[in-house]
Amino acid sequence: MAESAESSKDYFVTTVNEDHATICWGCGLRLLLPTHAPVFKCGWCGAITSQNVNKTETKCLWGRRLQDRCFVTILSVFMLFLICGGVWAVHWFVFSVSYTFGIFHYILTAILAATTVSTFSLSAFRCAGTPPTLLWGSYPVVGKGDLENYTFCHYCVKPKSPRAHHCRSCGTCVLDMDHHCPFIGNCVGAANHRHFIAFLFSAVFSTIYISFISAYAGLHIWPPVKYRSLGHLNGSGRDLAIRAFKEVMLALVSSAVQLSARGLILVYLFVSSVSLQIGLSVLLWQQLCYIYEGKTYLSHLSSQGSGGDHIEEKGCQNIFRFFGCPYSIFRYLPTLRNSPKRHTK
């Protein structure tokens, strides 16, 4: 009886419910779950498996790509118009001021145009960032922790890095994806994020110069403004201000009718460049704020959704690191004495 009791303690036989057994996609090992878990992590390779995957069809992928190509074409034509139209519209004016000013204008225009077009091309036509290729699916090949926090992309049918995100517009996974920009027809990721920021800087400086030179040249060719009864307005307060505003607007419209084709192009260049300048400046400031915090736009959304469980320090070193400056420069930066900030990579 004693031997029977000892044997019952040494061996325990039970049945396994097949509903609680599953296969890890990362290493191929059979895992026994205590309960039905929709999301679980392999204890060997570290891969995360989600059993509740709602994969949607990507039938409109070609439509999205066509839409992106249309945006890129429109933006390319618009940039070409700003460059060529601006050069033609102010050619007579810059050399009428002085020969030196004309040469300076053309050199600066060539630098800004070449920088803007080249950075735009690198942002639009360069791969945004391909996640690293890893071996997976077999236990002898996958070592312990090789797929730590990796998930499986059911669209690309391959492992997806924790730093990667699948873009349904591009139809591929992008490393350190910030967002999908329709105006460049491409994602902004690890491989072209610097070029995208450089494009924004160049575009902002270019629009500032276009608005300045077009306004300066337009003032010299604008026809004389004739006011009808501005000096004979009576009244006070709000009514007087409204009548004066209407009188000024009517005088400007009447004089604008007499503008030549060159003058109309200058007006259009000024309005469009100022509009672009405001929009691009807001986007550039937002991007620099995310880089300063060590985040991307998608990681910012993720940190808001998760409540910001990860902690990371903000600082100028993130900006220098983003642009590839050597680490030795960080020692000369002023240290921030702020408390650690919440952040998700």
Q: Which residues does the annotation mark as catalytic? A: 181
* Helix and strand numbers, DSSP H then E, in the chain: 8, 12
Q: How far apart, in whole angstroms, are the C-alpha atoms of residue 55 and residue 74?
A: 33
Three-state secondary-structure class, residue 171: coil
Q: How far apart, in whole angstroms, are the C-alpha atoms of residue 142 and residue 47?
A: 11
Inter-residue contact 48 to 41 (CB < 8 Å): yes
Q: State residue 327 phi and psi, 5-degree precision.
A: -65, -25
* Residue 63: both structure tokens together: 């439509």
- Cα 149-155-156 angle, rounded to 5 deg: 75
Bridge partners, 158 (sequence order) = 153
How far is C-alpha 294 from the geometric centre of its chain's CA atoms? 14
Q: State residue 188 phi and psi, 5-degree precision.
A: -105, 110
DSSP state of 126: S
Q: Which of 298, 21, 25 is nearest to 147 (CA)?
A: 25
Three-state secondary-structure class, residue 312: strand
Question: What is the C-alpha radius of gyration for the chain, rounded to an integer number of angstroms?
Answer: 31
Residues in the chain: 345
